[in-house]
Chains A and B, each alone.
Chain A
Amino acid sequence: MDAYLEGIIMLSGINLIAVLGLSLLTGFAGLFSFGHAGFMAIGAYSAAIVTTIFKLPFSLGLAASAIVAAGVSWLIGRATLKLKGDYFCIATLGFGEAIRLILDNFQGLGGARGWPGIPPHTALWNILLLDVIGVVLLAHLVRSRHGRNMIAVREEELAAQVAGIDTFRYKMMALVISAAYAGVAGALLGHYMTFIQPKMFSMVKSTELTIIVIFGGLGSISGSVLGAVVLTFLPELLRAVDKWRLVVYGLAVIGIMIGRPRGLMGGFELTPSSVKRWIADRKDAKTAKADRMAEDAGNGKDVR
């Protein structure tokens, strides 16, 4: 395969993992985060420590990235999940930037200059494998009792509480799982680039992830997959327009959001059964239309 094309596929696959996690937090539990790049950074550096300094296998690095990111998110959640909507969002923004600044100033891991020489363990096959695992796990989670509880929290938190749902617990669960996904994505990114730098995990990255989730459609896993692929490929396809690239990218996102305010998939899920239902609906609509036309024709005759 063309190395350039393969590179873009790998990047979209890595983005997808972080996006899946954020999709759980934002799309299903209803919590917005502008700091998930912070969890990616934690994952990237944890995995790099395991593979580069301790020379341990990549699988352990991936496990460490998920565990450390999840652990940190649990601490952050303890402190911030009591906050309501917008305030939680601001807190995550502060968290993401704080992580970046700490890494910028921590010379032991390269500081702002970055950390080169990370082994190139990331390959197309392990990205795609983790993508599939990530989608399957998430799809099972959101259909489970836990996932439904998260959706109840998103829909109407107080109503969920008066029904007896421990809303704090489910918000925490969504946050911790989403952070673990982001951590794994960070680890993959570091071992793909073979170089990590705090700047790669700035607010711009966090915002990009949130844009992808909203663009794909809140509450839809297939939307997140589609969003991650489309929005990673789009800037590359736009290289033809050179310096206007990001302007066109921005306009394209705005255009699609106006056309489809609920995102590409907007709460719908692409599964074999949903496709079957869609085809059946189309057929029903067609026969209904044909019936109507036949009836109209019949009525026409009567009048004449």
Chain B
Amino acid sequence: MLNVENLHVAYGGIRALKGVSLTVNEGEIVTIIGANGAGKSTLLNAISGFLKPAAGSISFKGKPLARRPDLIVRDGVCHVPEGRLVFANLSVENNLAMGAYLRNDKKAVADDLERVYALFPRLAERSKQSAGTLSGGEQQMLAMGRALMTDGELVLMDEPSLGLAPLLVQTVFEIIGEIHKLGKTILLVEQNAFKALSVADRAYVLEQGRIVREGKASEVAADPAVRDAYLGAESKAGG
């Protein structure tokens, strides 16, 4: 579904991505794990059109992906940005309506809104409340809900568990599973490698702008080098 080939991105002289290639097939959850500064968010931002690649190609459903953020959303790729970024002064309901900005079919939008509320009962309870007054976890749910409202087929998620309490991290990963069941394809960037690998079908390990390991999530999780570098104490605790 998504095909990234030999992608290079540079910030001035600093090369953040040095030839990354990856594939996401329809219906999969694919995760990209790696340390801080490995280039994970850079990769997602380049796919979404926020950054201009220096070289390489990105294609979506067999066609080259547009190179402007709003056109990319139109093509069916939606992005849940790192740090939530909700419209703080708008109500929860209106934030979700913003997600449906490009859509005209009122009936389908209303159905999707119901689906989002079913997925996130917390948001339904707080639909009239302004988004700025939500907790961090609720804002993350809102950002996910907003992405679902775009009706994109591919959901890019940037560090959805960042800065959340452990209990909420668990909830967020359960929700990622639920979103997958709705028929969405997911590309997930996470620091919490243990959780990410437990929910994903396939995984890529990104290190200093290069893919150093790829494979089935279970195989990557079992790789001793990966366990040492990214899973650490948590994997032992988790068995």
A contact residues vs B (CB 8 Å cutoff): 152, 155-156, 158-167
- Structural contact, B74 and A164, CB atoms closer than 8 A: yes
Q: Which residues of A lie under 8 Å from residue B69 when comparing CB positions?
A: 161-162, 164, 167
- The smallest beta-carbon distance between A296 and chain B, in angstroms, is 31
Q: Which residues of B lie under 8 Å from residue A159 when comparing CB positions?
A: 81, 85-87, 98, 143, 146
What number of residue pairs across chains A and B have CB atoms under 8 A from each other? 56
Whether B191 is near chain A, meaning CB under 8 Å from some CB there, is: no
Whether B99 is near chain A, meaning CB under 8 Å from some CB there, is: yes
Contacts A159-B85, A162-B150, A164-B70 given; 10 further ones with Cβ under 8 A? Answer: A152-B98, A156-B85, A159-B87, A159-B98, A159-B146, A162-B78, A163-B146, A164-B101, A164-B102, A167-B70
- Structural contact, A162 and B81, CB atoms closer than 8 A: yes
- Structural contact, B98 and A166, CB atoms closer than 8 A: no
Whether B116 is near chain A, meaning CB under 8 Å from some CB there, is: no
Give the complex CA separation of A47 and B90 in angstroms: 42
A155-B88, A155-B89 in contact; A163/B50 too (CB < 8 A)?
no
- Structural contact, A158 and B150, CB atoms closer than 8 A: no
Residue-wise, chain B 53-92 has the 8 Å CB interface mask toward A (1 for contact) of 0000000000000001110011000111100011111100
Tell me how many residues of B have a C-beta within 8 Å of chain A: 25
Give the complex CA separation of A167 and B80 in angstroms: 17
Q: Which residues of B lie under 8 Å from residue A156 when comparing CB positions?
A: 85-88
Give the complex CA separation of A178 and B88 in angstroms: 26
Whether B48 is near chain A, meaning CB under 8 Å from some CB there, is: yes
Q: Which residues of B lie under 8 Å from residue A165 when comparing CB positions?
A: 70, 101
- Structural contact, A163 and B88, CB atoms closer than 8 A: no
Give the complex CA separation of A152 and B99 in angstroms: 12
Give the complex CA separation of A162 and B69 in angstroms: 7
Most buried by B among A156, A162, A165, A166: A162
